[in-house]
């Protein structure tokens, strides 16, 4: 490890380096402590990812003025004799929100959900960078790819035709959608809760620009753990004034995510395929076979 990071400025001040194995990223992640007590997150990626990682770093720098608990960019560069690209972030202290949420009562789960929605709304105030295609053009291309990959992956999703029917019937909703900054993977698994109950947001490595409401496509991972948190997230985002159109678009994005998740899971083995198929069945139940656009877990404000 020392040979990999020795070219990073101030690496000589690091007194503790611990690898982090959680998450799906291809990056190697390390918890760092320095001799003056600072805590950092180090991400290492292959040099072939340089342009993407540079873009991620510069994109996250656009958030540094925001008053939220999050991983803040510290440094970026090349190390490991030109074979790796590194990014340093501040460390966000806290425990995995998926673990914490089950130790809390319904009202506290809802409070954290509200806070997560408020934070997400503030992230979406960051304007998108220039895009050559409209959102409808970009996302319809994604849908076509998702469906093609699903049909050739060899694994059948229960209720797939109902999901696909909903997608085709609601593509028209993609027209005239705004485009903003996106976290890219916003759910309980990328949140931490501090000892004082403060919610922190981590892992911005899937950030992108897109329809802000697309960020609710992974709310299924929140609803699976806590209906109160997931409902609070929606209410906090909209300040309790949830437009009817939102639920139709959220259902569209969730439906697309279910179709896309199956071929994705195949590459990770049978256990992950089983996990995704089980989640897809649960989603189908929440949406009554996509006969409704409001999921059964949703708790009105």
* Whole-number Å distance between alpha carbons of 163 and 285: 12
Q: Looking at residue 268, what is its pLDDT? A: 83
Task: Name the residue among 101, 135, 291 with its Cα closest to residue 213.
Answer: 135
Q: Are 39 and 75 in contact (CB under 8 A)?
A: no
Q: Looking at residue 269, what is its pLDDT? A: 85
pLDDT, tens digit (0-9, with 9 covering 90-100), for 238-254: 999 999 999 999 999 99
Q: Are 44 and 85 in contact (CB under 8 A)?
A: yes
Helix, strand, coil % (nearest 5) of the chain? 50, 20, 35
Q: Looking at residue 273, what is its pLDDT? A: 87
Q: Given the structure tokens 């999703």, which residue do they identify?
A: 157
* Whole-number Å distance between alpha carbons of 62 and 126: 8
Q: Which CATH class is domain 2-90?
A: alpha beta
Domain ranges of the chain: 2-90, 95-286
- Phi, psi angles (nearest 5°) of residue 92: -100, 115
* Whole-number Å distance between alpha carbons of 59 and 46: 19
Q: Name the DSSP class of 154.
A: S
Do domains 2-90 and 95-286 share one topology? The answer is: no
Q: Which CATH number fits domain 95-286: 1.10.20.10, 3.40.50.720, 3.40.50.2300, 3.90.1200.10?
A: 3.90.1200.10
pTM: 0.93
pLDDT, tens digit (0-9, with 9 covering 90-100), for 56-102: 999 999 999 999 999 999 999 999 989 999 999 999 999 999 999 99
Q: Looking at residue 25, what is its pLDDT? A: 75
b/e map 116-128, b = 16+ CB within 10 Å: bbbbbeebbebeb
- The residue ranges of the chain whose pLDDT is under 70 are 1-4, 24
**Is 205 exposed, middle or buried, given 0-12, 13-18 or 19+ CB atoms closer than 10 A?**
buried
Q: How many CB atoms lie within 10 A of CB 59?
A: 18
**Is 90 exposed, middle or buried, given 0-12, 13-18 or 19+ CB atoms closer than 10 A?**
middle
- Please give the helix or strand (H or E) that residue 33 lies within, else none: strand 28-34
The edge-to-edge listing of strands for the beta sheet with 39-46 is 14-20, 28-34, 39-46, 84-90, 73-79
Q: Looking at residue 132, what is its pLDDT? A: 78
């Amino acid at each position: 490890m020392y040979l990999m990071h020795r070219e990073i400025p101030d690496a000589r001040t690091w007194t503790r380096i611990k690898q982090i194995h959680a998450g799906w990223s291809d990056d190697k992640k390390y918890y760092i402590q320095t001799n003056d007590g600072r805590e950092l997150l180090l991400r290492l990626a292959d040099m072939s990812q340089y342009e993407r990682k540079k873009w991620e770093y510069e994109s996250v720098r656009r958030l540094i003025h925001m008053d939220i608990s999050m991983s803040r960019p510290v440094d970026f560069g090349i190390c490991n004799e030109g074979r790796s690209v590194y990014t340093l972030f501040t460390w966000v202290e806290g425990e995995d929100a998926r673990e914490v949420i089950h130790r809390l009562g319904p009202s506290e789960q809802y409070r954290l959900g509200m806070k997560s929605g408020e934070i997400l709304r503030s992230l979406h105030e960051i304007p998108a960078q220039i895009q050559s295609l409209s959102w409808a053009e970009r996302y319809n291309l994604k849908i076509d790819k998702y469906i093609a990959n699903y049909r050739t992956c060899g694994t059948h999703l229960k209720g797939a035709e109902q999901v696909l029917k909903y997608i085709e019937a609601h593509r028209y909703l993609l027209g005239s959608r705004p485009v903003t900054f996106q976290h890219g993977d916003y759910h309980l698994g990328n949140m931490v809760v501090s000892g004082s109950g403060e919610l922190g947001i981590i892992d911005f490595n899937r950030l992108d620009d897109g329809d802000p409401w697309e960020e609710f496509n992974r709310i299924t991972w929140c609803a699976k753990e806590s209906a109160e948190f997931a409902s609070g997230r929606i209410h906090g985002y909209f300040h309790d004034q949830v437009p009817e159109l939102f639920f139709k678009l959220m259902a569209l994005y969730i439906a697309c995510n279910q179709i896309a998740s199956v071929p994705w899971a195949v590459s990770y083995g049978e256990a992950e395929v089983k996990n995704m198929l089980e989640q897809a069945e649960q989603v189908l139940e929440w949406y009554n076979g996509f006969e409704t656009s409001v999921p059964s877990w949703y708790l009105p404000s």
